[in-house]
Amino acid sequence: MTDVLIKGAKVLGDNAADILVRDGMIAQIGSIGSTRSSGERDGARLTVVDADGLVVLPGLVDLHTHLREPGREDAETVASGSAAAAAGGFTAVLAMANTSPVTDTAEAAERVLDLGRAAGLVDVQPIGAVSKGLAGAELAELGLMARSRAAVRVFSDDGRCVHDARLMRRALDYLKPFGGVISQHAQDPHLADGTACCHEGEVSGRLGLPAWPAVAEDVIVARDVQLARHTGSRVHVAHVSTAASVEIIRWAKAQGIAVTAEVTPHHLALGTELLAGYDPVFKVNPPLRPDADRAAILAALVDGTIDAVATDHAPHARHDKEHAFPDAAFGMLGLETALAVLAEVAVRPGLLTWAQLAQRMSFAPARIAGLAGHGRPVAVGEPANLVLLDPDATWTVDRAASQSLSRNNPWHGRTLPAPVVATFLRGECTAYRGRVRGQFDPEEIA
Amino acid sequence: MTRKHLLSSADLSRDEVEAILDTAASMHDVQRREVKKIPTLRGRTVINLFFEDSTRTRSSFEIAGKWMSADTINITGKGSSTSKGESLRDTVKTICAMAVDALVIRHSASGACHQVAQWVDASVINAGDGTHEHPTQALLDAYTLRQRLGSLDGRHIVIVGDLAHSRVFRSNVITLGRLGARVTVVAPPTLMPSGIGDWSARDGFATSWDLDQTLYAASPGDRPDAVMMLRVQRERMSGGFFPTEREYTAGYGLTRERLTRLYAATPDLPILHPGPMNRGLEISAEAADATSSAILDQVSAGVAVRMAVLYHLLAGETEAAA
């Protein structure tokens, strides 16, 4: 295996150092000054990456990715989604269970795991369904999934809410022996049914779109933190989108309840008013919220009430987005733009340092998911899962240039900061400037 | 007017609304002739693309096109509402590949016409999209009201009923506002659209939960100059927006008793309803058939107004606009 010497990168945005990667691990950090160019060294091939001015962070971890395989390989595959993840600076993603068939058995989970290994661009960790077929009625085989080769620890019916309080309580009790966590899509199905697609307020009233009131999220979050307290198990709130949910989570954490939460880049950066043109690219669940909610979730991400950023990357075939707005599919792409959006909304305004962003996009999500080898410090002896980004550059998002098979990219045409330069998975360069292994010449990075 | 589409009532300025209403008046004269056909749109193709049931809107667009010598074709169907079916984009691209000049669209989904207008070269006319808007209905209501009241400047129009699901209400507050009318909308809280407080404040109309207070205002200046009753959309009432029909009628129906009391103050009060009516629910038979009822005038105006809309959107390309 080729050794890699990353020269002069600012480690977590702080002091510049050289990082020597050998056998997939970080072998040395400091001033490794003598070598300036790639070539043979001590009998091994050495690639020297000039990272002057770049920032190095631990590889990003996404708690919430839809890879669509099996079932909708026209929209995304594990391989194409892995490529999008690598291009976006991720080294691990958690694949949601709402595929067809649903990931609700050990075999299904292992299949996703194996597809991820075959693609080999990021570590793909399957999420298991809470209920069989996501039907919300009976528990899926949580224990068998946990004991499988996939070692599933995160369970979610995402796309749907585990709305039956008894089922939620049983699931939380049942997964205690193996330390699992339920990632809850908080949406009371009576207050916001399957047609609800626009934040309830003046915009939904004017546009005549089925309303998705914030309270439909809030009541489930409030219930679930109480169930977490009652059972002593962990609840993770997926894609928090409302100010009141944030208040409930803040309160719960103050009580010592085991609750964690994630927020998406699009809920931080995009507002309800974008729906005025009825463009289904902005249709997402939960819906884009008004400024007051966005300010609250950003503040909560900054103060640590919300632990992590997660993409909710949701690719859709073009024809599934070309229906009338209420009939079109929910969701938007996110893997390739997440880091840049967070740089835009949090790092550039001085709300988060790069090190604090690494907490929220790498350390915390790896800890919540129980992923070994990810979200580790950039230190000697650690796996070389790293991302290099250019903090001073900007780039313009082009949906046609995506690694994803889908094009439902709400950031298309926007100029964002901090492009990802390179991603390393256990020392191997998986992505370089938007292209993934096989699409660039390894000599290019040197 | 050089407008290509009519997607929302907000598209039209006051001048444009007045131009359409003036054209509609001359079209109305055409309707009274023995030979009703005029050659204005000869050789143009207008497709009435109705994804949702409609009798009066579809037939009035069809008659309007025919009297103006356009080739009008009706396409109906309830497809295209599931992710398994053909996408809306494919459906309209297919139709427009047949060299169509205008698409008149009725769709159960709000915003469908806005989306279609981005995809096709033809003019798109919104004939009702979901619970969003119905601009030609608002124009024909304004036409009818102008016939009865003259100028609408400062006139007080009261709109009562299921506002949450009403595209008629959404277009009417805009168009009547453009013409200087004061609008008050009345509904129980469960049938008010979301965000109505901010919305009404921004757009300058009033809201009320109390029909009687609105109809019998203490100050004569606040009493209504016309009342428009909206259809209670029984098919959308599955969520239990009110306990019983009896209770709805007691609170928000234009009953015989309310009519009698209104007539005591204003005997010629115009009563409008976009139809189809639920007699006995939101409007009593006495009110629907009252001497001052304008409900059939609305239907009659529908053809003239739609002729005027087709004229302003389509004829302007070949001859000087009126």
Residues of chain B neighbouring A212 (CB-CB closer than 8 A):
none
Strands B271-272, B226-229: parallel, antiparallel or unpaired by DSSP? parallel
Between CA A411 and CA A332 the distance in angstroms is 9
Q: Assign A39 a pLDDT band (cuts: 50, 70, 90).
A: confident
B130 shares a domain with B143: no
B1 belongs to a structural domain: no
pLDDT of residue A42: 66
pLDDT of residue B80: 47
A353 shares a domain with A227: yes
Residues of chain B neighbouring A207 (CB-CB closer than 8 A):
110-111, 132
Q: Is the pLDDT of residue B42 over 50?
A: yes
Find where tokens 């991302």 sit. Answer: A387
Q: Which of A104, A224, A293, A312 is catalytic?
A: A312
Q: What is the pLDDT of residues A320-343, one digit of tens each?
A: 999 999 999 999 999 999 999 999
A374 belongs to a structural domain: no
- B99: domain CATH number is 3.40.50.1370
Whole-number Cα distances in Å, B278 to A71, B48, B229? 47, 26, 10
Contact B110 A323 (CB under 8 A): no
Q: What share of chain B is helix, strand, coil (3-state, %, to 5)?
A: 45, 15, 40
B125 shares a domain with B19: yes
A309 belongs to a structural domain: yes
A284 shares a domain with A238: yes
- A439: domain CATH number is 2.30.40.10
The residue among A196, A277, A219, A239 whose CA lies nearest residue B194 is: A196
Q: What is the pLDDT of residues A60-86, one digit of tens each?
A: 999 999 999 999 999 999 999 999 999
Residues of chain B neighbouring A329 (CB-CB closer than 8 A):
83
B203 shares a domain with B112: no
B111 shares a domain with B176: no
B214 shares a domain with B253: yes
Which residues does A436 contact at the CB level (< 8 Å), separation at least 6? A83, A86, A87, A121, A403, A430
Give the gap in angstroms from C-alpha A325 to the nearest C-alpha of chain B. 7
> Are A425 and A385 within 8 A, CB to CB?
yes
A118 shares a domain with A7: no
A261 shares a domain with A113: yes
Residues of chain A neighbouring B202 (CB-CB closer than 8 A):
202
Percent of chain A exceeding pLDDT 90 equals: 95
B277 belongs to a structural domain: yes
Q: What is the mean pLDDT of residues B63-72?
A: 95
> Are B78 and B52 within 8 A, CB to CB?
yes
Find where tokens 């609304």 sit. Answer: B17
Mean of the per-residue pLDDT values for chain B?
92
B4 belongs to a structural domain: no
Between CA A354 and CA A386 the distance in angstroms is 13
Query: Which phi and psi angles does A50 have, rounded to 5°?
Result: -80, 105
Q: From A324, A347, A369, give the residue that closes a domain.
A: A369
Percent of chain A exceeding pLDDT 70 equals: 98
Q: What is the pLDDT of residues B224-250, one digit of tens each?
A: 999 999 999 877 666 689 999 999 999
What chain A residue is nearest to B91 in terms of C-alpha separation? A323
Percent of chain B exceeding pLDDT 90 equals: 84
Determine if the pTM surpasses 0.90.
yes
- A354: domain CATH number is 3.20.20.140
Residues of chain B neighbouring A213 (CB-CB closer than 8 A):
194
Q: Is the pLDDT of residue B83 over 70?
A: no
B224 shares a domain with B81: no
Percent of chain B exceeding pLDDT 70 equals: 94
Q: From A369, A398, A428, give the residue that closes a domain.
A: A369
A352 shares a domain with A431: no
Between CA A137 and CA A135 the distance in angstroms is 6
Q: Is the pLDDT of residue B152 over 80?
A: yes
Size of interface A-B (CB pairs under 8 A): 95
A407 shares a domain with A294: no
pLDDT of residue B322: 37
Contact A208 B88 (CB under 8 A): no
Q: Is the pLDDT of residue B84 over 70?
A: no
Residue among A213, A322, A326 whose CB faces B109 most closely = A326
* B75, β-bridge pairs: B49
| Active-site annotation holds for A312 | yes
A213 belongs to a structural domain: yes
Q: What is the pLDDT of residues B207-220, one digit of tens each?
A: 999 999 999 998 88
pLDDT of residue B240: 87
Q: Please tell me whether the interface predicted TM-score (ipTM) of this complex is above 0.90.
A: yes
B68 belongs to a structural domain: yes
Residue among A200, A277, A278 whose CB faces B194 most closely = A200
A415 shares a domain with A303: no
Residue A46 vs residue A350, higher pLDDT: A350
pLDDT of residue B86: 86
A240 shares a domain with A151: yes
pLDDT of residue A212: 98
Q: Assign A222 a pLDDT band (cuts: 50, 70, 90).
A: very high
A384 shares a domain with A288: no
Interface of B with A (CB under 8 A): 80-83, 87-90, 107, 109-112, 114-115, 129-133, 167, 170, 193-196, 198-199, 202
pLDDT of residue A50: 95
Interface of A with B (CB under 8 A): 200-209, 211, 213, 277-280, 319-320, 322-329
The total domain count for chain A is 2
pLDDT of residue A136: 97
**A219's tokens:** 């009541």
Strands A181-184, A198-199: parallel, antiparallel or unpaired by DSSP? unpaired
Q: From A335, A369, A403, give the residue that closes a domain.
A: A369
Q: What is the pLDDT of residues A281-290, one digit of tens each?
A: 999 999 999 9
Q: Is the pLDDT of residue B316 over 70?
A: no
The residue among A240, A226, A181, A230 whose CA lies nearest residue A368 is: A181
pLDDT of residue A35: 63
Q: What is the pLDDT of residues A113-152, one digit of tens each?
A: 999 999 999 999 999 999 999 999 999 999 999 999 999 9
B146 shares a domain with B92: no
B122 shares a domain with B84: yes
Instruction: Identify from B110, B114, B162 which residue to disrupt to test chain A contact, counting A C-beta atoms within 10 A and taking the largest count.
Output: B110
What chain A residue is nearest to B168 in terms of C-alpha separation? A208
* Residue span of the structural domain in which A438 resides: 3-56+380-445
- A63-78: b or e for each residue (b if 16 or more CB lie within 10 Å)? bbbbbbbbebbebbbb
Give the gap in angstroms from C-alpha A274 to the nearest C-alpha of chain B. 13
Residues of chain A neighbouring B193 (CB-CB closer than 8 A):
204-206, 208
Contact A208 B132 (CB under 8 A): yes
Q: Is the pLDDT of residue A195 over 80?
A: yes
Give the gap in angstroms from C-alpha B195 to the nearest C-alpha of chain A. 4
Mean of the per-residue pLDDT values for chain A?
96
Q: Is the pLDDT of residue B44 over 60?
A: yes
Q: What is the pLDDT of residues A242-275, one digit of tens each?
A: 999 999 999 999 999 999 999 999 999 999 999 9
B237: number of Cβ within 10 Å? 15
B202 belongs to a structural domain: yes
Instruction: Identify from B115, B163, B191, B205 which residue to disrupt to test chain A contact, counting A C-beta atoms within 10 A and taking the largest count.
Output: B115
Containing A294, the helix (H) or strand (E) segment is helix A291-303
The total domain count for chain B is 2
* Residue span of the structural domain in which B61 resides: 9-134+301-317
The residue among A279, A292, A301, A294 whose CA lies nearest residue A408 is: A279
Between CA A49 and CA A4 the distance in angstroms is 7
Q: What is the mean pLDDT of residues A353-364?
A: 98
Q: What is the mean pLDDT of residues B268-286?
A: 96
pLDDT of residue A269: 98
A375 belongs to a structural domain: no
